[in-house]
Structure 1
Amino acid sequence: MATNTSIQENNGVNDQTIHSVRSTIYDKDEQITNTRSIQSSLYEENVVNINPSKLSEKKSHSSATHEDCESIRSRTIHGTEEDEKQSNVDGGYGWLIVIGAFLVQITSYGVTTAWGNVVGKSKSRVMQDYYEQNVFGDKVPNAPVQLSFVGTFCLIFSNIMGPVTQIVQSMIGTRAVLLLGTLFVSVGTIMAGFSTEVGSDLAFVLDTGDLLWNWSQFDTIMAVAPQYFDKRRGFALGLIASGSGIGGLIMPFIMTPINKSLGGGWTYRIVGFICLGCDLVACILVKDRIPRPRIRKKLGDIIQFSVFRDSKFRIWCLGATMQMVGYFIPFFFVPSHATYLGLSAQQGSTMIAVSCAMNFVGRIVCGYLADKLGTINTNIVYLIIASLANFLIWTFAYTYGTLVAFMAVFGFACGSYFALVSPITAFICGMEKFPTGLSMVLISNVVAVFGPNIASAIESGVSSERFFSYKMFAGVAYILSALIMISLKFSVNRKIFKKV
């Protein structure tokens, strides 16, 4: 009897043990189920930084332990980051971003080109010539000089206002910044049509409009567009940059007949409404791929001079500046060279049209090649072509045909900077420091504004053939920038044929 009693007691203990084990297994299964439920909900909510209060709420409805939740958090963060990298990249909505940014480039650079500033003066001085001859000619002393400063200040503002753009964007968001800039651009251009004085009216409204255009549009679209592309980033940015070539080609031809029939005032009013329509499309389409929290940034958060600690970034800034120094020379002086050779104004306009058309094609091809060969490699190839065009074509250009050939080749190759400045900066700095890096590059390029002045000083100080020093100056600037970019390439990777 004692033995039987002992056996029954042991069986009872075993039954309890089995029941306990089964209960534990059931609890574990339930725990795993709850854990997966939490993970799934976190994925669905696309939470990257888990809110501790929400996590506590999840835990109160489950039996998951603290360690389990920490594990889930780690896996969720990793998974969400991978998901963000892969979703909506290299296509889809990104192409709508390209369309909006393309329209911005057409209108903004087109109007600037048609004015006749440092860049546009050589391309087609539509508005500057009009104001010189019909508005301010005999009324204002040194009217051409004063009018030229309007375009010069526009260029300087567009380069140095990048940090301000980022501060405002962090406060009110991307779309609000675009809308604000669209308002100032359109109103500023329309009000330019009512200007009666160079200093107090015209320069103010145009420079203010261009300054705020840079706030809202150029820096914004160049910061947003790379978010939507990875493997096709170069091609997408090349398409965007090509808009300025189209704008430089078509806007002067739109504004010239309006000038003749209605006058300069109505020209700017009509163009203002054109800018309003195109820029509103950009406001609707352009948005951040991943919404950013609105946290007011300080100037110290934007201008991070720590990026200059990287030797590769310093090399890139120097190379970019040299490219822009060479870029301005042919556009500034080829029309004068054509006049010196006895060519007509119509022939000069044709050269400019050919240059703008080839600039449009060159930027698209540049972006496509950048995705295949690498951004730095492509930039080097284009710089060498531009240098050879100055040395081998412009140097021996004494006829209309040879000048057209030079402007075609140079126009194709000279725009690589505008197509590649964003992807190269992103490659060197990384996307985290990309906005700061882009602002620093643009600010450093302000020096290039004085390239034509330096070239003119050299020309006046030598007794060689007319325009010969301009040709050599541009060629040397481009070959130096090519050598600088080659050194950047080898600082990244020493293999000659490596995609960089």
Structure 2
Amino acid sequence: MTTPEEIGPHPKQNGANDLNSEKSGPKQGAPDWKKSDAPDGGLAAWSVVLGSCVIPGWFAKKRGTAYGIMSSGSSIGGVIFPIMIQRLIPEVGFGWAMRAGAFVILFLLIIANLTIRARLPPSPRPLSLSALTKPLREKKMLLVTAGFTLLTFGMYIPIDFLVSEGLSNGISANLAQYLLAILNAGSFFGRLSTGILADCLGAYNVFTTVCCLAGILVLALWIPATSTAGTIVFAVLFGYSSGAYVSLAAALVFKISPVQQIGYRVGLIFLFASIGGLTTNPIAGALLAHDNGSYLGMKLFSGVILLTGSTLVFCARLHHTGLKLGAEF
């Protein structure tokens, strides 16, 4: 789930203005565009999914660290791309700014495709409806899938609305345009550190703790934060806590699945999580309109659903370990 903190809403620009900008060449002055509107496409999300499926074949130990390093790359992109697009749009227009981003992604993907290889050859096996639906008949897998899907709803709201909410609180436009980059910088360290901690304390223990922290931060810090300093602190801390959501998703599946089914099962949880990625913005927008522009209801929804999703994943952990709260899992 681009990972969830790099994906923002599509730019809300008038089609005629886009067409005129293409014809007239570079624009002068700042466009009516927010940094949070810079999408990296769905490609970052797919990169995380496919990369997560490759890791188990190469790493018998330190998988959490490997997942953290792998997923931290998209956080670097989440810092660089919004700033790059923000600077390019006034110079070359929206269309060529998007093309420049696409060319960078294409170049990096060429390197990846030329250098990556499988450790084990593929072993085709017959597919059956029973085999495809088997994960959905397992309680632990169902709990992880449901929890991860709910977490997607909660994670996307701060990512997509942090900039606009900051502007509504009087943060200057020059500073607000960097809030998403600040959040992604925090996520970079969160992904690395939670991956390392997962190898020591257990993926489920770290994942549920950090994702629960994300919900607490939304309710206890983002809701009352109206100052510039408070918003920046929230961006850093929430970015850090959102790191586990991306870096440890596949590690959760690995703990409860046969190794030959890791790829399918990781894809399955991201399939259901994509529902949240698709519908979070419309839901949040409806809450915003219902509250006459107040962000309170939207923040409450995000915080509560983050805590609920974390609880479901924790229930999967309890289903495996029982009430042994100190167990490494």
In structure 1, the partner of 2:27 is none
Q: Match for 1:429: what amino acid?
A: S
In structure 2, the partner of 1:322 is 150
Q: Provide the secondary structure at the position in 1 that maps to 2:223.
A: helix
Q: Match for 1:308: what amino acid?
A: L
Q: How far 1:272 moved relative to its partner?
A: 3.7
CA separation of 1:270 and 1:331: change in aligned 2, threshold 3 A:
closer
Q: How far 1:253 moved relative to its partner?
A: 2.3
In structure 2, the partner of 1:477 is 305
CA separation of 1:399 and 1:218: change in aligned 2, threshold 3 A:
closer
Q: Match for 1:222: what amino acid?
A: S
> Residue 457 of structure 1: which of 271, 286, 295 is its match?
286
In structure 2, the partner of 1:400 is 228
CA separation of 1:386 and 1:137: change in aligned 2, threshold 3 A:
farther
CA separation of 1:430 and 1:334: change in aligned 2, threshold 3 A:
same
Amino-acid identity (%):
23
In structure 1, the partner of 2:321 is 493
CA separation of 1:133 and 1:346: change in aligned 2, threshold 3 A:
farther
Is residue 3–residue 48 contact of structure 2 (8 Å, CA) maintained in 1? no
In structure 1, the partner of 2:296 is 468
In structure 2, the partner of 1:243 is 73
Greater CA drift, 301-310 or 368-377: 301-310
Separation in structure 1 between the aligned mates of residue 77 and residue 208 of structure 2, nearest angstrom: 26
Separation in structure 1 between the aligned mates of residue 160 and residue 145 of structure 2, nearest angstrom: 23
Separation in structure 2 between the aligned mates of residue 303 and residue 254 of structure 1, nearest angstrom: 45
Query: Given the two structures, how large is their TM-score scaled by the length of structure 1?
Result: 0.57
Q: How far 1:245 moved relative to its partner?
A: 1.0
Deviation string, structure 1 residues 35-61 (Cα, Å, up to 9, x no partner): xxxxxxxxxxxxxxxxxxxxxxxxxxx
Is residue 131–residue 137 contact of structure 1 (8 Å, CA) maintained in 2? no
Separation in structure 2 between the aligned mates of residue 456 and residue 265 of structure 1, nearest angstrom: 26
Structure 1 residue 135 and structure 2 residue 18: aligned? yes
Is residue 183–residue 235 contact of structure 2 (8 Å, CA) maintained in 1? yes
Q: Provide the secondary structure at the position in 2 that maps to 1:498.
A: coil
Q: How far 1:290 moved relative to its partner?
A: 1.6
Greater CA drift, 331-340 or 301-310: 301-310
In structure 2, the partner of 1:311 is 139
Structure 1 gaps of 5+ residues are: 1-104, 114-118, 156-209
Q: How far 1:220 moved relative to its partner?
A: 3.5
Query: Given the two structures, how large is their TM-score scaled by the length of structure 2?
Result: 0.84
Separation in structure 1 between the aligned mates of residue 262 and residue 142 of structure 2, nearest angstrom: 14
CA separation of 1:267 and 1:300: change in aligned 2, threshold 3 A:
farther
Is residue 109–residue 247 contact of structure 1 (8 Å, CA) maintained in 2? no
Structure 1 residue 223 and structure 2 residue 53: aligned? yes
Structure 1 residue 262 and structure 2 residue 92: aligned? yes
* Greater helix proportion: 1
Separation in structure 2 between the aligned mates of residue 490 and residue 233 of structure 1, nearest angstrom: 22
> Residue 343 of structure 1: which of 171, 184, 189 is its match?
171
Q: How far 1:350 moved relative to its partner?
A: 2.7
CA separation of 1:424 and 1:274: change in aligned 2, threshold 3 A:
same
Q: Provide the secondary structure at the position in 1 that maps to 2:256.
A: helix
Q: What is the root-mean-square deviation of aligned Cα atoms in Å?
A: 3.3
Greater CA drift, 423-432 or 371-380: 423-432
Separation in structure 1 between the aligned mates of residue 3 and residue 310 of structure 2, nearest angstrom: 26
Deviation string, structure 1 residues 352-374 (Cα, Å, up to 9, x no partner): 22111001111111101111111
Deviation string, structure 1 residues 378-436 (Cα, Å, up to 9, x no partner): 01111121011111111111111111111111111012121011111111112122122
Is residue 358–residue 408 contact of structure 1 (8 Å, CA) maintained in 2? yes
> Residue 8 of structure 2: which of 97, 120, 123 is its match?
120
CA separation of 1:467 and 1:266: change in aligned 2, threshold 3 A:
closer
Structure 1 residue 440 and structure 2 residue 268: aligned? yes
Is residue 188–residue 240 contact of structure 2 (8 Å, CA) maintained in 1? yes
Separation in structure 1 between the aligned mates of residue 130 and residue 93 of structure 2, nearest angstrom: 43
Separation in structure 2 between the aligned mates of residue 409 and residue 391 of structure 1, nearest angstrom: 13
Q: Kindly tell me the number of residue pairs found equivalent between the two proteins.
A: 315
Is residue 224–residue 287 contact of structure 1 (8 Å, CA) maintained in 2? no
Is residue 221–residue 286 contact of structure 1 (8 Å, CA) maintained in 2? no
Q: Provide the secondary structure at the position in 1 that maps to 2:177.
A: helix
Separation in structure 1 between the aligned mates of residue 130 and residue 257 of structure 2, nearest angstrom: 14
The aligned runs of 1:367-406 (5 Å cut-off) are 367-406=195-234
In structure 2, the partner of 1:162 is none
Separation in structure 2 between the aligned mates of residue 437 and residue 279 of structure 1, nearest angstrom: 24
